[in-house]
Structure 1
Amino acid sequence: MNTSSINKLRRRFIFAALMAYLLVALWIGALIYGINALTTQREIRTVLNTIVTYGGILPEMDRDGKIHKQEMGEESEDSGSQEDIDADSVLEEPKGEDFDVVISDNFTIYDIFAIGSNIFTSSENHYQSRYFSLLYDSNGALIDSYLNKISYLDEESADELYGQYVLEKNKSFGKNGPFFYEMSENEDGSKLVVYLDCTSQILYNGRILYSALILVVIGFLIIFILVRMFSYNAVKPEIENAELQKRFITNASHELKTPLAVIRANTEVEQMMNGENEWNQSTMRQVDRMSTLIQNLVLIAKGQESEDKEEMIDTDVSEVINSTVETFKTVANTDEKELTSNVAEGIHMTAEGSSIRQLATLLIDNAIKYCDDNGKINVSLSQKGKVTRFEVSNTYAEGKDVDYSKFFERFYRQDESHTGTNNKKGGYGIGLSIAEAIVKRYKGSINASWKDGVITFTCLLK
């Protein structure tokens, strides 16, 4: 694995870690917001139910612990018109949804939203609860109202904007602007509509939502910085090892060339002096085999260097393929093989010219090397849309029962090549694995197919 592949793997890890955090954080935030919204709505219904239960006016408690129930149409300041109620009798009177009533000193309507159980207020904080009530007869005509807790509404506007809305909807509970409402029908057919101003609760829920989103974004940035920093420290040794491995391959290849050249020269002299025999021929075959292996190692190193640079520019692929074909025509003629080409002109793509040339070199050299005697090699290049199609084919009569899926495995060779008895056609070597790596760099694909005695390598580049 080279430096580029390690960095690509690191980026994938960072992306996966960030997506995992984002999903978990959003899920937790949504859960908190949902629970808070449901709890708030339940508490709102408790308050509305309490007001409806007491005829549209929330009872208040004085300093002596007396709870005063006020009838619709009366002024709360006129204490003589209010009915004093003992706490015990109040607890027995509510009807509708079941709930517990707990009375305590210094209590406000907002305590209901905090614990969801208390419903009465002290005289000092009684006016903190903002609500209004409308009473309609069986025919839908307004007969009474309580607007003391809302300063900007008169009876007419409250009826037109809010009361008629509920009667038309005919729903027992709902939301209208910043208000939540509840409608109750009495035994005589009259209907009581109570609106509760929940602006503070709506704003509170909104603050929770925005705060959660801000925390998620801040956490995302912090996680990104930390994961990026720690992932770099984690892959740094692997990057250094990849660099050392690449350097070793390059150095070892150069170091091995010299002794192989000496062995070849000495063997050739021995053949000239004593003639060829099975011993010096075997030595020459092994020298050729080692030279091919060294050449493949150099190709690996060059391929990794090219991938690490990633200098992508607009490249005339047609010109690169044509020049590569011309280079190999002499080689093909020497082997008494015919090399032809069918390259469309003017094909361009964003690529690295050297990698495209290396790809063409690997496939054409492979085709010439393993083409049948006196066979034909054909190179073609075409483009459809954004996909560039590059094909190299050669005659290969013995390719019917070959497993082509293994051709692109590194160091894969067929049967006899390991013994060295038939090195010329022993397999497709390491070159095809390098070709596959080049093609994948361009998000393409490469495959081998055989039909009617001809093997074709097809590359699709994007």
Structure 2
Amino acid sequence: MIQHFRKKFILISTCALVVVIITIIGSISAVTYFQARQEVTSVLTVLSDNEGRMPARQVPSQSNFFPQQRLTRESLSQYRYFSATIPHDGGPIQVDNQHILSVSAATIRQLAQRVERRNTDRGQVLYNSSVYAYQVRRNSKQTLVVFLDESLMMSRARKIIDLGILLGMVSLVLYTIVLVLLSRRAIRPIIEAEQRQKEFITNAGHELKTPLTVISANTEMQELTSGETELTASTKQQVSRMTKLVNYLVSLARLQEQPQMTMIPVDASGVVNRAVKSFKSVAANADHQFETAVAPAITVLADENYLYELVSILIDNANKYCDPGGTVTVQLAAVKKNAVLTVSNSYAKGDQVDTARFFERFYRENKARTLSKNAGYGIGLSMARTIVHNFHGRISAKYTAGKISFIVSLRRVTPK
């Protein structure tokens, strides 16, 4: 139980950090990328306003989000750009390629004509594995197309994004390592409280057994001298109930202390059949129909004694809360790689119960059952869940077609 809680604590804490890191890195990446795009737009706008040439003085940024950015002749010298002017009268295309070396004048003319055919004012073109952003400025006489190699800006943005991702992953790994190392200390109060609870239950159980034994012995002595009366019968009945409750509590506490189970391949079909055989007479005395469908030769990895205890708990629970004249059904089947045990009982008012709470300790749907001679203590199903958890299986409850069913799924072992 503590190990499960510890793993869950580590998982939830790590997931929370992942969400925070993704949010931070995502925000930084988005702002960085947006700023790079704004820089490209600002440079193109400045060049377009100056007929594809560098301005003679400092120019304020065109970005409303980054007003601190200023573009000057010195800052523009870091960019690689070129332009083409296309006359509307059919004259030759004028090219300015003084700030680019890798693109020839003929290629610039081809790119300008391609952009003109697109009939868009902004966009991107790919040439020789490089991406060039462009902006078009038109007037009555000519069309000016300015191209800017955006590799410099976008590479800076990608480096920042990659660095953020790397730092985020390193931080996540370091945080997880530290969390694993310190998690036991973090949940130490819970571990100590759980341990004290188990010790209290075990000690209290042993302390209660002595007075119960004395009361039972005194009652038997009184019956020997005075005969059995309604009071002595009632006392014996309550002593028996109290003894069962104490035994349940001690058994549950031991189960949660990670008992030494012998996990070996077990003939689940044989174990279920033995449990069914022991309960047939009990079901008959309670006027319940008993149906079984146990597939042969199903083997699971479990502890045989605890597996028998698990099946007995589920059948006993089904028999206790089955409607008068109802049916208790036990099924064991192989479903893909799992062995599925289903124990069902008729219960007309099952649509009024909360099956999700059945495995809570001391939970009983009908509080009036506490006075019934067949009432349970709300501990058996909690024990069943703990046993299944120790078997690394799954257990669930559902209500369908007038029946409450408990489904246990355990990993099958294929005989060699």
Q: Same fold (TM over 0.5)?
A: yes
1:132 aligns with 2:101: no
Task: Determine the C-alpha separation between the residues in 1 that align with 2:145 and 2:109.
Answer: 10
3-state DSSP of counterpart to 2:4:
helix
1:182 aligns with 2:127: no
1:267 aligns with 2:216: no
3-state DSSP of counterpart to 2:135:
strand
Quote the residue 1:297 is aligned against: 249
- Give percent identity, aligned residues only: 29
Asked whether the 8 Å contact 1:131–1:150 carries over to 2, the reply is yes
Quote the residue 1:149 is aligned against: 99
**TM-score, length basis structure 1:** 0.70
Amino acid at match of 2:49: T
Match of 2:396 among 442, 445, 449: 445
Structure 2 gaps of 5+ residues are 410-416
Match of 2:114 among 152, 165, 171: 165
Listed as ranges, the matches of 1:75-86 within 5 Å are: none
Residues 457 and 438 (structure 1), Cα distance of their counterparts in 2 relative to 1, 3 Å cut: farther
Asked whether the 8 Å contact 2:44–2:135 carries over to 1, the reply is yes
Residues 300 and 457 (structure 1), Cα distance of their counterparts in 2 relative to 1, 3 Å cut: farther
3-state DSSP of counterpart to 2:133:
strand
Task: Determine the C-alpha separation between the residues in 1 that align with 2:324 and 2:71.
Answer: 99
Please give the per-residue CA displacement for 1:314-347, whole angstroms capped at 9, x wherever unaligned. Answer: 5542222112234446777899998664322133
Task: Determine the C-alpha separation between the residues in 2 that align with 1:118 and 1:155.
Answer: 26
Q: CA deviation at 1:207?
A: 0.6
Task: Determine the C-alpha separation between the residues in 2 that align with 1:150 and 1:193.
Answer: 15
Quote the residue 1:119 is aligned against: 72
Task: Determine the C-alpha separation between the residues in 2 that align with 1:449 and 1:57.
Answer: 79
Task: Determine the C-alpha separation between the residues in 2 that align with 1:360 and 1:50.
Answer: 81
Amino acid at match of 2:220: E
Task: Determine the C-alpha separation between the residues in 2 that align with 1:302 and 1:39.
Answer: 62
Count the aligned residue pairs: 393
Asked whether the 8 Å contact 2:334–2:340 carries over to 1, the reply is yes
Residues 131 and 327 (structure 1), Cα distance of their counterparts in 2 relative to 1, 3 Å cut: same
Asked whether the 8 Å contact 2:205–2:250 carries over to 1, the reply is yes
Asked whether the 8 Å contact 1:46–1:116 carries over to 2, the reply is no
Asked whether the 8 Å contact 2:326–2:345 carries over to 1, the reply is no
RMSD of aligned C-alpha atoms?
4.1
Residues 295 and 139 (structure 1), Cα distance of their counterparts in 2 relative to 1, 3 Å cut: farther
Q: CA deviation at 1:208?
A: 1.0
Residues 219 and 274 (structure 1), Cα distance of their counterparts in 2 relative to 1, 3 Å cut: same
Task: Determine the C-alpha separation between the residues in 2 that align with 1:330 and 1:304.
Answer: 32
Please give the per-residue CA displacement for 1:151-195, whole angstroms capped at 9, x wherever unaligned. Answer: 2332123323x323322323222223332222222321x222222
Listed as ranges, the matches of 1:282-293 within 5 Å are: 282-293=234-245
Amino acid at match of 1:429: Y
Listed as ranges, the matches of 1:184-203 within 5 Å are: 184-188=137-141, 190-203=142-155
Asked whether the 8 Å contact 2:249–2:379 carries over to 1, the reply is no
Task: Determine the C-alpha separation between the residues in 1 that align with 2:276 and 2:89.
Answer: 96
Please give the per-residue CA displacement for 1:3-42, whole angstroms capped at 9, x wherever unaligned. Answer: x1x4434433333333333223322323233333333333
Q: CA deviation at 1:206?
A: 0.9
Residues 183 and 342 (structure 1), Cα distance of their counterparts in 2 relative to 1, 3 Å cut: closer
Residues 407 and 41 (structure 1), Cα distance of their counterparts in 2 relative to 1, 3 Å cut: closer
Quote the residue 1:318 is aligned against: 269
Quote the residue 1:36 is aligned against: 32
Asked whether the 8 Å contact 2:351–2:399 carries over to 1, the reply is no
3-state DSSP of counterpart to 2:240:
helix
Match of 2:309 among 358, 381, 384: 358
Q: CA deviation at 1:266?
A: 3.8
Report the structure number with the largest CA radius of gyration.
1
Structure 1 gaps of 5+ residues are 60-66, 68-86, 92-98, 102-112
1:460 aligns with 2:411: no
Task: Determine the C-alpha separation between the residues in 2 that align with 1:377 and 1:143.
Answer: 92
Task: Determine the C-alpha separation between the residues in 2 that align with 1:240 and 1:302.
Answer: 16
Amino acid at match of 1:290: M
Match of 1:46 among 37, 42, 67: 42
Asked whether the 8 Å contact 2:79–2:152 carries over to 1, the reply is no
